[in-house]
A and B are shown apart, each in its own frame.
Chain A
Amino acid sequence: NAGVTQTPKFQVLKTGQSMTLQCAQDMNHEYMSWYRQDPGMGLRLIHYSVGAGITDQGEVPNGYNVSRSTTEDFPLRLLSAAPSQTSVYFCASSRAGTGTRSGELFFGEGSRLTVL
């Protein structure tokens, strides 16, 4: 099993550009989520999904869109990149029922995004 796979690992954007961070998991997990990690701060939840076709906002959703058309994939879209979105982004997944509050969360290796 590959676990949670994120692409790209590194990306540099100019202000105003759009892009999609890809996330795929092969563990048949129902729950998937996106976090951002900034220096001196804990991981912050951007968006999450409890199953295909269902998404919801987290703590810091502004400027980001998500969709969940399959169980395996959960892409994160930046519509118009801003320097404040420079960060390291982590995708995570967990089993349904145990996922959000009692189950183990599996993280990808991260995508480091710089917006100039």
Chain B
Amino acid sequence: KNQVEQSPQSLIILEGKNCTLQCNYTVSPFSNLRWYKQDTGRGPVSLTIMTFSENTKSNGRYTATLDADTKQSSLHITASQLSDSASYICVAVGLGGGADGLTFGKGTHLIIQP
């Protein structure tokens, strides 16, 4: 069964600090890996989409990495800001089976404290 596991479940850091969120997936055959940011009470917004051939992708202070061999991804946030407080959702997309091929993680809830 396709699965996406995210860690930690929740994280509290001080403003200005860096942090890294982890995502392990078992989707196969694999197409791409996505990270979404979901502010409280809002819909998810795409941060990055990486195919199996991409190792790193940046979006401002957000940098995602992908190791398709070990089926692991990470999202690194640099110099965190209060606006980074949100849930971060990892999504692994498969080529076959299922309806739309997307398997969602449960998310990491990040809180940035001043």
Selecting from B63-71, B73-81, B102-110, the interface stretch reads B102-110
8 Å CB contacts to A: which residues of B48-106? 49, 51, 89, 93-95, 98-106
Q: How many residues does chain A have at the interface if contact means C-beta atoms less than 8 Å apart? A: 26
Given contacts A42-B4, A42-B106, A43-B104, contact A107 B44 (CB under 8 A): yes
What are the residues of chain A within 8 A of B51 when measuring CB–CB? 102
A108–B43 touching, CB < 8 Å: yes
Is A100 located at the chain interface by the 8 A CB criterion?
yes
What are the residues of chain A within 8 A of B105 when measuring CB–CB? 42
The smallest beta-carbon distance between A41 and chain B, in angstroms, is 6
- Nearest residue (CB) in B for A41 is B106
What are the residues of chain A within 8 A of B41 when measuring CB–CB? 109-110
B99–A105 touching, CB < 8 Å: no
Pairs A–B under 8 Å by Cβ, sample size 10:
A43-B44, A43-B104, A45-B99, A58-B100, A90-B44, A102-B49, A107-B43, A107-B45, A109-B42, A110-B41
